[in-house]
């Protein structure tokens, strides 16, 4: 048994001393020292293997430490209020809240746990985790704006990826098993309460699958992630995420209103999957009336998007070219990723794909006003 942590307050009483530490057990704990340790400062990191757990005279859970070591000395001055001021960034307030065991710290820990649970869940389903390049040679035919880079060594323009789907389909061609990536995407599109320029998504492609298979995977995963989040904070008000989403067609949702009202309609949905929606992705199968696509809407926010994959190269090339022509009207030069079409021509199994905004899901679970509260929860 051992305990270590950072001192966040010191209270002397006669010849004894009480300290509060943020411990390796990820919580603030009151400690009683058998003797006054000279030179202890708020911010110091202490370690002890010589202690026992009990309660103080007032009944508070307390760790009684016989001997300790200072294993990390704070090099910064401390305020009278006992707040650690060693933070070397301008996010001091967030740092202090984190070190004091506030919600920022809980969210940061939950986020890490949620990422790991996602990986464990998909691995248990025999998915193969893959890792694709963050920098791509092709801009792609997307209307979304990518971040541009200049590769001096290669003397060429490159781009930060804005999606993982094409790279995942190339991996599917090789493995012929479900593949996924949990990683960052980058979109040069400004920021809002539910969108930032760099965030984490889960994208997956499942061979020989239907949209119903995607619904099931997303539902099972949401159960696991709710359970994890609820161990860090009481999120019982979000219990409806553990219910199977209600299925509704786009046509039924939009009865009596125009397509332009779709975003407003989504805000009224609590936990729904809207399917047979108008075409969103050029990679999805379409028919004359709708695309074989869906959106998972939770508390009015779009958490996931999925579709059955189109693998007709002539159809894909035509769609990409139309997008490129539209971009050209705005002075934007784009190219078709021929390597992707080459992969498709090599031969692909029927498959379905989905993307889940993990950070947006965390934002919803913890009722955070801004998605930046997820990605910057430690203020660093």
Looking up residue 168, the CATH number of its domain turns out to be: 3.30.930.10
Prediction pTM value = 0.77
What share of residues in the chain are helix, strand, coil (percent, to 5)?
Answer: 30, 30, 40
Same domain? For 194 and 317 the reply is yes
CB-count exposure of residue 86 (10 Å: 0-12, 13-18, 19+): middle
**Hey, is 260 helix, strand or coil?**
helix
Same domain? For 281 and 351 the reply is yes
Residue where a domain stops, chosen among 54, 83, 112: 83
Instruction: Indicate whether 88 belongs to any domain.
Output: no
Domain count, the chain: 2
The answer on pLDDT for 77 being more than 60 is no
Q: What is the CA radius of gyration of the chain?
A: 26
Same domain? For 73 and 114 the reply is no
pLDDT of residue 102: 57
Same domain? For 64 and 115 the reply is no
Using alpha carbons, select from 304, 296, 307 the residue that is nearest to residue 270: 296
Average pLDDT over every residue of 146-175: 88
pLDDT of residue 198: 85
Instruction: Indicate whether 98 belongs to any domain.
Output: no
Structure tokens at 317: 């090339």
Average pLDDT over every residue of 74-97: 44
Same domain? For 262 and 352 the reply is yes
pLDDT of residue 89: 36
Instruction: Indicate whether 229 belongs to any domain.
Output: yes
Instruction: Indicate whether 380 belongs to any domain.
Output: no
Return left, alpha or beta for 329; rule: phi > 0 is left, psi -120 to 50 is alpha, else beta. Answer: alpha
Structure tokens at 345: 């021509």
Using alpha carbons, select from 104, 366, 357, 369 the residue that is nearest to residue 226: 366
Structure tokens at 117: 């649970």
Same domain? For 17 and 120 the reply is no
Residue with tokens 């949990």: 182
Q: How many residues does the chain have?
A: 380
Confidence label for 173 from pLDDT (cuts 50, 70 and 90): confident
The answer on pLDDT for 300 being more than 60 is yes
Instruction: Indicate whether 91 belongs to any domain.
Output: no
Q: What is the CATH number of the domain that holds 65?
A: 2.40.50.140
Confidence label for 265 from pLDDT (cuts 50, 70 and 90): very high
Average pLDDT over every residue of 284-294: 91
pLDDT of residue 326: 85
Same domain? For 324 and 369 the reply is yes
Range of the domain at 76: 3-83
Same domain? For 124 and 254 the reply is yes
Same domain? For 188 and 279 the reply is yes
Using alpha carbons, select from 220, 199, 215, 239 the residue that is nearest to residue 360: 199
Instruction: Indicate whether 195 belongs to any domain.
Output: yes
CA dist., res. 262 & res. 272, Å (int): 14
- What pLDDT, in 10s, does the model give residues 106-133? 888 899 999 999 999 999 999 999 999 8
- What pLDDT, in 10s, does the model give residues 270-288? 999 999 999 988 999 998 8
What order do you get walking across the sheet with 246-249 strand by strand?
128-129, 179-186, 198-207, 351-356, 301-308, 293-298, 271-275, 246-249
CA dist., res. 169 & res. 166, Å (int): 5
Residue where a domain stops, chosen among 83, 118, 139: 83
Residue where a domain stops, chosen among 48, 83, 118: 83
Same domain? For 49 and 118 the reply is no
Using alpha carbons, select from 142, 361, 140 the residue that is nearest to residue 238: 361
Report the percent of the chain where pLDDT is more than 90.
Answer: 41
Instruction: Indicate whether 227 belongs to any domain.
Output: yes
Instruction: Indicate whether 96 belongs to any domain.
Output: no
pLDDT of residue 221: 97
Same domain? For 184 and 73 the reply is no
**Hey, is 250 helix, strand or coil?**
helix
Same domain? For 198 and 293 the reply is yes
């Amino acid at each position: 048994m051992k305990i270590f942590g950072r001192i966040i307050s010191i209270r002397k009483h006669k010849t004894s001393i009480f300290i509060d530490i943020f411990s390796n057990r990820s919580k603030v704990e009151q400690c009683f020292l058998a003797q006054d340790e000279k030179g202890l400062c708020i911010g110091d990191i202490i370690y002890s293997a010589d202690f026992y757990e009990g309660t103080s005279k007032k009944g508070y859970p307390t760790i009684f430490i016989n001997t300790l070591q200072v294993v990390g000395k704070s090099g910064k001055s401390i305020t009278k209020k006992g707040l650690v001021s060693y933070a070397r960034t301008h996010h001091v307030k967030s740092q202090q809240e984190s070190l004091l065991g506030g919600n920022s710290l809980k969210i940061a820990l939950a986020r890490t746990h949620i990422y790991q649970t996602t990986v464990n869940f998909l691995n248990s389903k025999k998915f193969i985790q893959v890792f694709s390049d963050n920098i791509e040679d092709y801009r792609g035919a997307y209307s979304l704006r990518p971040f541009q880079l200049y590769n001096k060594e290669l003397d060429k323009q490159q781009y930060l990826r804005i999606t993982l789907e094409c790279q995942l389909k190339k991996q599917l061609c090789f493995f012929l098993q479900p593949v996924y990536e949990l990683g960052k995407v980058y979109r040069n599109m400004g920021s809002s309460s539910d969108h930032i320029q760099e965030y984490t998504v889960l994208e997956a492609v499942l061979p020989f699958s239907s949209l119903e298979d995607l619904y099931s995977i997303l539902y099972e995963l949401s159960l696991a992630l709710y359970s994890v989040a609820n161990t860090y904070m009481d999120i019982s008000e979000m219990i409806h995420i553990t219910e199977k989403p209600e299925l509704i067609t786009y046509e039924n949702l939009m009865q009596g209103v125009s397509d332009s009202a779709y975003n407003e309609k989504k805000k009224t949905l609590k936990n729904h999957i809207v399917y047979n929606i108008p075409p969103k992705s050029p990679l999805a199968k379409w028919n004359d009336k709708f695309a074989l696509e869906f959106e998972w809407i939770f508390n009015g926010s779009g958490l996931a998007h999925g579709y059955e994959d189109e693998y007709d190269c002539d159809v894909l090339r035509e769609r990409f070219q139309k997008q490129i022509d539209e971009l050209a009207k705005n002075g934007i030069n784009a190219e078709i990723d021929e390597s992707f079409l080459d992969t498709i021509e090599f031969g692909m199994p029927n498959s379905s794909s989905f993307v889940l905004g993990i950070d947006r899901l965390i934002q919803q679970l913890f009722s955070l006003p801004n998605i930046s509260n997820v990605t910057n929860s430690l203020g660093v």
